[in-house]
């Protein structure tokens, strides 16, 4: 058979991947999940109240790649290290799926693990700052549900009975290069109680709008940028098409504007002082050799000669000398510059 390859339809990988992702049980979940606790109360309230997502983007390629990598990691932990993976846990109000659980054996305690795939930049934040409170909340809640008999049907573990979970672990895997960063600690009942109190606040909400926005909003938070309730939360469909930021809805009256001015002035003063300290420290290090100094590693980059580049001013002089009109284009608008000063106290 002679067929023109150019006429053969190629299935769209990402359209299929997004359909598959939305069909996953967790994508249709309506109970509050540990992965939502500690993140944003309004987003969690939208989930609890069954609000239909307003933003189902078809560009979540990185997240779907992370899901595929995640599945492979869990398969390795199960087949190579004997972990019980994807355990469904619930107390009737919270529903979650812990990634991996190792039952106690000999002197080894029961370990609960959550696996997270990260971009290189996000992984660097974990290295510098450690896990977020939200992430510790999540893995502690998995341990709590195991310890309180929350395991659903399972072919090898007893269900409805307390299971030992003494260590909680967060394993981060870089999506680009496979770097692995691990943080683990003993289970802390205090952390669990904080997480449960956070969840109770959301569960008792009358409506999502009664809950505060805990993150900074579109353009300032990657979580908000990818939130399935972004339009509903920030009223994006009502935003005037004049380039205004979504965050303007937080300063619609005099009190809101005053709060924003105070926050801006406070931050500007801290930023100015920090820039001065940083500039001085930078000059102090100008002659230092690369290496490790105490808790810090110093490295240098750049300093290489640049290739020649066009000289616009010289070009203009040549064109003017030839009596040739200089081509012009619209200059657009200058950027708006804000000025915030504190009003002196009249007293």
- Give a three-class secondary structure readout of 19-37: HHHHCCHHHHCCCECHHHC
Q: What is the pLDDT of residue 58?
A: 59
More confident site: 3 or 265? 265
Q: How confident is the model at residue 54 (pLDDT cuts 50, 70, 90)?
A: confident
Between the two ends of the chain, the Cα-to-Cα distance in Å is 94
Q: Between β-strands 291-293 and 180-186, what pairing exists: parallel, antiparallel or unpaired?
A: unpaired
pLDDT for the residue numbered 162: 95
pLDDT tens digits for range 27-49 = 444 679 998 999 999 999 999 99
pLDDT at residue 219 is higher than 80: yes
Question: How high is the pLDDT of residue 27?
Answer: 45
199 close to 31: Cβ distance less than 8 angstroms: no
Choice between 155 and 169, residue whose per-residue pLDDT is larger: 169
Which helix (DSSP H) or strand (DSSP E) does residue 86 occupy? strand 84-90
- Summarize the confidence of residues 197-216 as an average pLDDT: 94
Q: How far is CA 94 from the centre of its chain?
A: 22
Neighbours of 100 (CB within 10 A): 23
Task: Tell which phi-psi region holds residue 280, choosing left (phi > 0), alpha (psi between -120 and 50) or beta.
Answer: alpha
pLDDT tens readout for residues 327-347: 888 888 888 888 888 888 755
* Residues found in the chain: 347
| Best-predicted range by mean pLDDT (66-80, 197-211, 291-305) | 197-211
* Structure confidence at residue 28 (pLDDT): 46
Average pLDDT over residues 192-198: 96
Of 24-28, 112-116, 275-279, the range with the lowest mean pLDDT is: 24-28
List the single range of 64-78, 144-158, 247-261 with lowest mean pLDDT.
Answer: 64-78
Residue 212: which pLDDT band, with cuts at 50, 70 and 90?
A: very high
Q: What is the DSSP letter of 151?
A: B
Does the structure show a pLDDT above 80 at 89?
Answer: yes
Calculate what percentage of the chain has a pLDDT beyond 70: 89
Higher pLDDT pick, 337 / 99 = 99
Of the chain, the percentage scoring pLDDT greater than 90 comes to: 60
Q: Give the sign of the dihedral formed by CA 237, CA 239, CA 242, CA 244.
A: negative
User: Is residue 213 scored above 90 in pLDDT?
Assistant: yes
Measured CA distances, 326 to 79, 108, 266, 333 (Å): 70, 78, 46, 21
Residues sharing a CB contact under 8 Å with residue 246, sequence separation 6 or more, in sequence order: 217, 218, 219, 234, 235, 236, 239
């Amino acid at each position: 058979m002679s067929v023109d390859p150019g006429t053969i339809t190629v299935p769209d990988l990402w359209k299929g991947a997004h359909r598959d992702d939305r069909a996953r049980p967790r994508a249709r979940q309506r109970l509050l999940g540990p992965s939502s606790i500690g993140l944003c109360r309004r987003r969690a309230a939208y989930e609890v109240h069954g609000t239909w997502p307003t933003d189902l983007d078809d560009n979540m390629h990185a997240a779907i790649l992370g899901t595929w990598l995640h599945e492979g990691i869990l398969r390795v932990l199960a087949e190579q290290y004997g972990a019980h993976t994807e355990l469904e846990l619930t107390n009737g109000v919270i529903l979650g799926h812990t990634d991996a659980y190792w039952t106690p054996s000999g002197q080894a305690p029961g370990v609960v693990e959550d696996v997270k795939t990260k971009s290189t930049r996000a992984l660097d934040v974990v290295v510098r700052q450690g896990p977020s409170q939200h992430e510790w909340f999540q893995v502690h809640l998995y341990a709590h549900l195991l310890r309180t008999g929350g395991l659903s049907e399972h072919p090898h573990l007893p269900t409805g009975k307390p299971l030992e979970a003494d260590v909680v672990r967060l394993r981060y895997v870089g999506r680009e290069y496979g770097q692995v960063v691990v943080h683990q600690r003993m289970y802390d009942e205090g952390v669990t109680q904080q997480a449960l109190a956070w969840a109770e606040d959301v569960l008792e909400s009358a409506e999502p709008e009664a809950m505060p926005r805990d993150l900074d909003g579109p353009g300032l938070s990657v979580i908000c940028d990818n939130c399935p309730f972004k339009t509903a939360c920030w009223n994006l469909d009502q935003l005037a098409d004049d380039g205004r930021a979504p965050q303007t809805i937080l300063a619609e009256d005099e009190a809101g504007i005053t709060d924003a001015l105070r926050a801006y002035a406070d931050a500007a003063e801290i930023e100015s002082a920090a820039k001065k300290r940083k500039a001085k420290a930078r000059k102090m290090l100008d002659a230092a050799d690369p290496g490790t100094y105490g808790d810090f590693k110093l490295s240098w980059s750049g300093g290489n000669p640049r290739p020649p580049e066009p000289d616009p001013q010289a070009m203009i002089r040549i064109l003017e000398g030839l009596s040739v009109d200089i081509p012009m284009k619209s200059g657009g608008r200058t950027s708006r510059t804000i000025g915030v000063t504190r009003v002196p106290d009249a007293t």
